[in-house]
Each structure stands twice: as C-alpha cells, then as structure tokens.
Structure 1
Amino acid sequence: MQHKYATLKMTQIHRNEGQPREHFNEAELTELAESLKEYGLLQPIVVRKKEGASGYELVAGERRYRANKMAGNITIEAKILLPETDETITDLDSFKRAMTENITRADMTPLEEARGFKKVLDQEDGATAQSVAKNFKKSVQYVNQRLALLDLRPELAQAVNDGHIGTSAAVQVAALNKDSQKNLFDKWKKGDFNGSDNALIHVAYAMRKQEKAQQESMVEVEEVSDEEKATQSKARAKTRTDLDRIEEICGLLVEIGKMDGAELFRHLEGEVGARLEQMERVSEAVQKARWALRQAKAHADASELVVSPTAQAPDLAEAARAHEANVNGPEDSEQADDEAAPNAVAEQAHLDTEHADSETDSDAPDREPALASA
C-alpha cells in the first residue's frame, strides 16, 4: 500500500475505537515511555485519513502512541497510508492491519484475537476460517481454537485474559454447556486443581464426553438386559478384586526394596539381569495403571460437575429474542436467524479442535489428552 512519512502533532491523531487490542500493561508502557525520552521513537506509528473526520486515525502502534503521550511529547513520527485508487481505506482494512501488527508481536490476549477473527468473519464478504488464517499467517486450527473461546462464560473469559487459565484448557472448557462451565469454574476457584491446566483439561474433556453421552441417550434409550447387567456387575467385582491384590504385591516390593544389593545378588545369582527386566515391565505396567486411574478420577470429578442438557437453566436472553421475533413477525425472525449464525462457526471450531486432537494422536482416535509426567 502506498504511504508517506510525516511528523504529526499528537492532537492531530485520534484513537481507533475499533482497536482490536484492549489490554495494555501499564508497567510496560511506563518503561517504553522512559525509553522514548532517551532514544526517541524507533518505529513510526501507522495512521490514515478517515473520510468525514479531521486529523488522522491510528491504524497500528497504539502502544507506541500511548507511551509517546506518557513521555510528554507533542509530536510523533507517522507513516500515513494512502489509498491505491480513489477509494478510501475502509474501517475493516484498518482493523486488519492493526490485528496483523499485534498478532505478529504477540501483544494480544487470546480473547482479543478471538474477537478480532470473529469481526473479520462477520464483516468481510466470503470470509472463512481458512481465509482468516491465511490473512494473519496462522493455521486454521489456531483460528478455530480462538473462535471457540467466544463460547466461554464471562468469568472464565476474564480468567483467560488475566493469564490464570491457559488457552488449551480454555478451549476444552468452552466446549461445555454454560452451566457445566460454571460448576467447573467454581471448583477451579476453590483450588481443587492446584493451579494445573493439565488437570483442568482432563476434567473438562471428561465432562464433554459425559455431556455427549447424555445427549445421545436422550435420542435413543436402549434397555440393558439382565444378562448385560450381570456381565457388568461381574466386571466391576473383578476390577475391585484386582486392585485389592495390588496391595499384596506392593508389600512384596517394599520387602525387596529393603534388601541390600549384595544380598540380592547372592539370592539371585545368575538371574539378576532377568529379574531387573521383570521389574522394568512391572514399572511400565504401574505407570499405565496409574494413568488409567487418573483418567477415572477425572471422570469421577466430571460426573459431579456436568449438567444435563435437560437440566440447564433457561437462556433468558434467547427467550427474549424468541418472544420479540414472535411479536414482530417473520421479517424480524429472519434477522434473528442471521444474528444466530455465528454460533454455527463457534460450534465448527469445537469440532475442528476435537478433530485436530484426534489427528495428532495416532495411537487411538478417541484417546483422552495426555497427562504430564507425574
């Protein structure tokens, strides 16, 4: 895009009210302001002339603009964008340039990125997750995961913005219905996950599976036969018995652990190598069993938190929209449908996220997320 450079008065520049970035670290701004006082501005801000407005609108460089103001400077170096033809630079063009700079510099929070991607999808003709990903040099999976965050409850979104909950965990939580999200967030606030995103991911994933199972059971209910009930009861009894026997084995291992190495050598002369290999197999089996039990614990926690779709609190805002549509007639009802369409994009984001998870795990297509090492 054509441009020219100029020194502008700070009073000539107006902030872009549609600026995609909302959060600025005051300490970092103060540090930058001190740097500007000593070294000056190393990179000009980017502005444009806006039709019907005096002065210039800020396109990129909000952080530099704020720091320059804090430093007490009355002028600033600027790169002024010039339209290629007689057409003006649109608000969306300006927004996309601001998004590009902030994403490249990793200055935006995940929710700011999500809202930015959503705005482009809503306002640019023919925009798709694929085109947005290409515009901002991101993968489609990255864009879809950010879009999924828009389904978070406000309090959870704030925790993500504040850096208390990581993006990967937030994407799993966002896939839950709003009431399940609230229950999970309340448990997280109590410190039940010890600040671990990994534990949060696993419980959220388990809750999502249970929500899906409940939805499927609402569609088709199959009665369990007496034979199947007997088989399930037998399997439960066997699992508990097997786990009880582990305590016996644990006692044997404790006794072996107390033995002196030289004594073990005398007792196992000629078999030490084979017995060590045996112990390695036992250790591997213990790791796998512990993994399975941790997954079971996640499902146990999830069963206490998940809210059945039939038991969810009514969405009062949605009810109000539906009532208004009925009162105002079919024309307004069609508009309501158009407003609801973005929700389909968010739902696709959840599906793409789950698909991406399965693609990266070649061992099992529906395997649960991996736990970090204990």
Structure 2
Amino acid sequence: MEKQELTVLKIEDLRPFPGNPFHLVEDEQLMELSESIKEFGMAAPILTRPTDDKSGYEVISGQRRVRAAELAGIESVPAFVLPIDRDRAIITLVDSNIQRENILPSEQAFAYKMKLDAMKRQGYRTDLTLSQVGTKSRTDEIVAKGFGVSKSTVHRFIRLTELLPPILQMVDEGRIALTPGAELSFLTLEEQENLFTTMESEDATPSLAQAQRMKKLSQAGQLDMDAIFAIMTEEKGNQKETVKIGMDKLRKYFPRGTTPQQMEETIIRLLERELRRKRNRESR
C-alpha cells in the first residue's frame, strides 16, 4: 500500500488525468454538489499524483468534486498525493470511478481497456509459474472478478472501443445493445461508415442476428454497401407499426443515463395519467 500524504492543493495546480475515460458532465447533479460543497465543504479528499514534469498534480479520483468546488468559488481542496506511476494510477482511477451511477457503456469500455492494458504492462499476475498465455487469461479473469462481471462481458465492452464514434454513441443512447455493438466492432472502419449511413437514412439499427451476419460477410470480404442495405431494410417477422421519436428530442427531458426502455415506461405512465385526468373531467 502506497503512503498517502494528506495535504491541501490549489485548484489551479490540478490537471485532468490524461485519457480519463469518465466524462465530466456539467449537469444538475454537479450544480447541487457545488452548492453542498459551498455550504458544508468537501467531505472526502480527492486522490492525485504528481505530474511527470512536477508542474502540478493529476486528479485520479474526484474530478467532479474539483469542478464543483471551482464553481463554488473555492480555490483549494483537500487531497491525498500518491507517489505512484501512471499504470498504478490508471488502475486506481478505474477502481475508484467504475461503480458510479449512470456510467455509459463507452466509459466502461475504455475504463476496462485502460485497466487491462495497465495490468499487462505491469506484468500483473498471481502465480509466477504461469505461462505468458496463462498470464494473459489470468489477468482478464482478475479484472472481470474485480468488477463483478464475467470475462466475456469485459471483452464485449472492450470491443466497443473499436466502434466508429457515432455508432458508439448509439450504444450509449441504448439504440444498439452491448452484444450487437461488440459484433459490429469487427467491421472495418469503411464498413462501419457505410452501416452508419444506412442506419441514418433508414432510421433503423441492427438486431444481434443482423450484426452477426454482417460480421460474417465482413470476414469473407463480401460486406459492401448493397449487402448492408439489404440486411438493414429486410422486413422482420415481429415487426410492428411504431411511432419513432429521435433520441435527441427526448434526451433533454430525462436524466443522463436513462435507457430508452425507462423513457418509454415514463412516457406511457404520463400518458395514462393524462388520460385518467381527461376522463375525470369529462365525467363531471
């Protein structure tokens, strides 16, 4: 366990952690946190490490608290300064932030990848007699166990880091599920661009079966625009008439991290409540 030095650091000396996979969103919750810190102070110190050039300190855990304090007009915050290298800092950063509420799939994906890569660079393993292949497998299992998920789930999330950014955003928005997204990550960038263009023009996203078919065609070198269009425009057996509302129109009415299913349930509940009110007015 590294020695932890508790001190007070000026916010102007703090730096964002390079490549931090967790996004800082200035939402209502951040404003509430800022008001709380302004009134009561910061309860828990942040975690930092000295920058490599010794010009300041990188924030390992607590970037939201730092920003909230800054918005509250506070100039200094309590902090632990950890004398650790970048790989150990990455592991600490991921472990300190991964359990937060409303983590996006893309944040999980890059967090898992960063931690796994850092552990491999450290030569992390629990049995020094393991072979190189065994060490790789063991490291994956350790990462998965630490997060309380299966190794295959960790691998699926990491595959998302190979997605074209607008397709990855669709996964974040819940328009594409984790497993189909992982399958689509095996498409080349050109194929993904063609797929995104088709999804936008046809207002459709692929099912798992469709994603798997496109992956297979891609591996055979046969996934051109015509093949993508044919798959994405085929009629599905369980297809029903629907009313589609773009996520960009709905997102502002819901907290960050709300899934499409939760949005649908909320909208139906509000419509049912309005319907009851209308019937009550008409019966008077």
- Superposition TM-score, scaled by structure 2 size: 0.61
Q: Do 1:32 and 1:67's aligned partners in 2 also have CA atoms closer than 8 Å? A: yes
Partner deviation per Cα, 1:107-131 (whole Å, 9 max, x = no partner): 5432233223333444433454223
Change (3 A) 1:186 1:6: same
Could you say which residue in structure 2 is the equivalent of 1:289? none
Give distance in 2, aligned partners of 1:217 and 1:19: 36
Return the offset for 1:162. 5.0
Matches within 5 A, 1:173-322: 173-190=184-201, 192-193=203-204, 200-202=205-207, 204-209=208-213, 212=216, 304-305=230-231
Matches within 5 A, 1:97-176: 97-106=92-101, 108-123=103-118, 124-125=120-121, 126=123, 128-161=139-172, 164-176=175-187
Change (3 A) 1:143 1:106: farther
- Structure 1 stretches of 4+ with a deviation exceeding 6 A read none
Give distance in 2, aligned partners of 1:129 and 1:187: 35
Q: Do 2:48 and 2:60's aligned partners in 1 also have CA atoms closer than 8 Å? A: yes
Give distance in 1, aligned partners of 2:84 and 2:209: 44
Q: Do 1:18 and 1:95's aligned partners in 2 also have CA atoms closer than 8 Å? A: no
**Relative contact order: is structure 1 or structure 2 higher (C-alpha 8 Å, sep ≥ 6)?**
1
Aligned pair count reads: 211
> What SS does the aligned partner of 1:72 have?
coil
Partner deviation per Cα, 1:312-356 (whole Å, 9 max, x = no partner): xxxxxxxxxxxxxxxxxxxxxxxxxxxxxxxxxxxxxxxxxxxxx
Q: Which amino acid is the alignment partner of residue 304 of structure 1?
A: A
Q: Do 1:46 and 1:60's aligned partners in 2 also have CA atoms closer than 8 Å? A: yes
Give distance in 1, aligned partners of 2:200 and 2:99: 32
Return the offset for 1:141. 1.8
1:56 aligns with 2:51: no
Change (3 A) 1:213 1:114: closer
Q: Do 2:194 and 2:228's aligned partners in 1 also have CA atoms closer than 8 Å? A: no
Change (3 A) 1:305 1:213: closer
Return the offset for 1:217. 11
Give distance in 1, aligned partners of 2:19 and 2:53: 17
Give distance in 1, aligned partners of 2:111 and 2:209: 27
> What SS does the aligned partner of 1:112 have?
helix
Q: Which amino acid is the alignment partner of residue 49 of structure 2?
A: R
Change (3 A) 1:213 1:187: closer
Give distance in 2, aligned partners of 1:210 and 1:166: 16
Return the offset for 1:23. 4.4
Partner deviation per Cα, 1:203-222 (whole Å, 9 max, x = no partner): x523523653686699xxxx
Unmatched 5+ stretches in structure 1: 82-87, 194-199, 219-300, 307-374
Give distance in 2, aligned partners of 1:35 and 1:191: 46
> What SS does the aligned partner of 1:104 have?
coil
Change (3 A) 1:15 1:139: same
Q: Do 1:210 and 1:303's aligned partners in 2 also have CA atoms closer than 8 Å? A: no
Could you say which residue in structure 2 is the equivalent of 1:336? none
Q: Do 1:168 and 1:201's aligned partners in 2 also have CA atoms closer than 8 Å? A: no
Change (3 A) 1:191 1:67: farther
Partner deviation per Cα, 1:128-182 (whole Å, 9 max, x = no partner): 4223324444321221011111221232123334555443442243244445434
Give distance in 2, aligned partners of 1:217 and 1:114: 27
- Superposition TM-score, scaled by structure 1 size: 0.48
Q: Do 1:153 and 1:182's aligned partners in 2 also have CA atoms closer than 8 Å? A: yes
Give distance in 1, aligned partners of 2:174 and 2:97: 17
Q: Which amino acid is the alignment partner of residue 98 of structure 1?
A: L
